[in-house]
Structure 1
Amino acid sequence: MAWCRIKVSASTITDHAFLRGLYRDAYYPDPVVDLGKAILLRLCERIETERPADLPALYALTEVATEEFNALQDDFEAAGSDIETVAREEIAEDFWFVAQAYGFAEADVEELIAVRDW
């Protein structure tokens, strides 16, 4: 997966340190964590572009991003790491943060990442 520049306009999002806990822990290789951060930024870009009107529309977007994290599991494993408890919680928190930042206060974190296999 190639790194790409993502345009996100909400300052709440651009100022947020996504996956901060993973970057602080040497168990998680930064290049793979960068891919995870890119997934979250693409999610933000899609929310800004598509402007989901309700929770089901938001959940459809987060499902795509969660599937991308499912695929990223292979990259973590290849780098001698894993999406385990700490990573799961960090990723889930950032999905919840994104939902909150875009005004979906009633979003359920488990629904945001319902299709996860990590």
Structure 2
Amino acid sequence: MYEDGYCPDHVVHRGRAVPLALCERERAGAAGLAALYVLTQAATEEFNDLEAAFEAAGSEIETVARDETAGDFDFVARAYGFPEADVAELIATREW
């Protein structure tokens, strides 16, 4: 998203912080897939909150950003030992 001129770097940087913070929370160890979904859905809500910042910068959370964000959440789930995680469930609270 940094390479896409449509996405303002300062907002993308805030969006980048969301999955990084998710990793910090997951590092404590989610007690199963249901607990992981709670963490990822809360992180998704944090990403939802960035919509206003994107709009204020003349942008939006568009298709590429949505796909990349979903992929980031899938990557985190797999990296922490949940290859069976359903991406749609990981980001079920999305508003984008």
| Bigger relative contact order (CA 8 A; separation at least 6) | 2
Task: Determine the structure 2 residue equivalent to 1:68.
Answer: 46
TM-score by length of 1: 0.79
Task: Determine the structure 2 residue equivalent to 1:83.
Answer: 61
Aligned ranges for residues 29-108 of structure 1 at < 5 Å? 29-49=8-28, 51-108=29-86
Name the SS of the counterpart of 2:73 in structure 1.
helix
Listed as ranges, the gaps of 5+ residues in structure 1 are 1-21
Structure 2 distance, partners of 1:80, 1:104, is 36
- Sequence identity, in percent? 64
Listed as ranges, the gaps of 5+ residues in structure 2 are none
TM-score by length of 2: 0.97
**1:30 aligned partner, one-letter code:** D
Name the SS of the counterpart of 1:47 in structure 2.
helix
